[in-house]
Amino acid sequence: MTGRLHDKVAVVCGAGQTPGTTIGNGRATALLFAREGAEVLAVDRDEKSLLETCALISESGGTARPLVADITDPSDCAAIARTALDAFGRIDVLHNNIGIGAGDAGALDVTEDAWDRIQSVNLRAPWTVCRQIIPHMRERRTGAIINVSSIAAVCSAPLVAYKVSKAGLNALTHALAMENASFGIRANTIMPGFIDTPMAIEGMASKLGMNQDELRAARDRMVPLNQRQGTAWDVAHAALFLASDEAAFITGALLPVDGGQSARIG
């Protein structure tokens, strides 16, 4: 441990993960934040997975509190801020990792229900959490917000509701960065490309009726850098940098973590 988040309190929304053989982006980030000295409020609606994340943090000597919450419920979002403040006394970092894509389709085929569900989880919910936590950060005149978007926001993508939600999240990041700059609060976005997480592999393979190894190989081939997908640790290390004081002069950035996938569009 090098203590890059020493003395910081971090809220990680989506700290559980879809079951699978690899590690998810939110769990890896929660583990890395704790390893670097942060006290972590770990939030997820999946209690079993959330408790696994917290147990992993405890086993490695870190500090984590679990909070089971549905991010689409405004009263649960209020509970996130309240619980973090009750448990740790302040909030320095808010990491919005939660994102879904199930049920998505092309613009003419996606159902209204799927559209609303995806916008609600991927865009409305992080906005709601921010509105609960930013007043506290403003009082302390410090804070770092990290939103996990996707390169789908800026690249051609066949799943329209997901793409639009993530493009909206990028725009929200810009708005948050500008509205809160004079309060010393930074807001940045990570745009992952193909990352080898359970949601992307186990989830998509069963949806597409594909073998997992074939899906992995197909995704690997589409990444310019070494023809290999990233791992959740690549996303977690970008989040660690943006959460830390090393990024003190960085706000409003949209950072691709994608092995060069988005560089194709210039």
Ligand X SMILES: NC(=O)c1ccc[n+]([C@@H]2O[C@H](COP(=O)([O-])OP(=O)(O)OC[C@H]3O[C@@H](n4cnc5c(N)ncnc54)[C@H](O)[C@@H]3O)[C@@H](O)[C@H]2O)c1
For 172, counting Cβ atoms within 10 Å of its Cβ (0-12 exposed, 13-18 middle, 19+ buried), the class is buried
| Residue 72 contacts ligand X per CB under 6 A | yes
**Sole residue written with tokens 């993508």:** 157
The residue (of 244 and 261) whose beta carbon lies closer to ligand X is 261
The DSSP string of 6-58 is TT-EEEEET-S--SSSS--HHHHHHHHHHHTT-EEEEEES-HHHHHHHHHHHH
Interface with ligand X, residue 237, by CB under 6 A: no
Q: How far is the CB of 169 from ligand X (least distance, A)?
A: 9
Task: Rule CB under 6 A: say whether 44 interacts with ligand X.
Answer: yes
Q: Which of 11, 17, 32, 137 binds ligand X (CB under 6 A)?
A: 17
Figure out which of the listed residues 180, 188, 197, 261 binds ligand X, where binding follows CB under 6 A.
Answer: 197
Contacts of 120 (CB under 8 A, 6+ apart): 72
Q: Which DSSP letter does residue 264 get?
A: G
Instruction: Name which position in 35, 194, 242, 251 contacts ligand X (CB under 6 A).
Output: 194
Give the interface segment with ligand X, choosing from 1-9, 57-65, 129-137, 188-196 (CB under 6 A). 188-196
- Position of minimal CB gap to ligand X: 99
Active site residues: 162
Q: Applying CB under 6 A, does 16 fall inside the site for ligand X?
A: yes
Please tell me whether residue 62 binds ligand X under the rule CB under 6 A.
no
Tell me the per-residue interface mask from 86 to 125 with ligand X, x by CB under 6 A, - otherwise: -----------xxxx--------------------x----
CB of residue 14 to ligand X, shortest distance in Å = 4
Asked if residue 200 binds ligand X (CB under 6 A), the reply is yes
> Any residues with CB less than 8 A from the CB of 261 and at least 6 apart, and which?
151, 155, 193, 194, 222, 223, 224
Are 142 and 184 a contacting pair, CB within 8 Å? yes
Instruction: Say if CB 187 and CB 177 are below 8 A apart.
Output: yes
Task: Give the bridge partners for 65, in sequence order.
Answer: 41
Helix (H, G, I), strand (E, B) or coil at 115: helix
| Site residues, ligand X (CB under 6 A) | 14, 16-18, 24-26, 44-46, 49, 69-72, 97-100, 121, 148, 150, 192, 194-195, 197-200
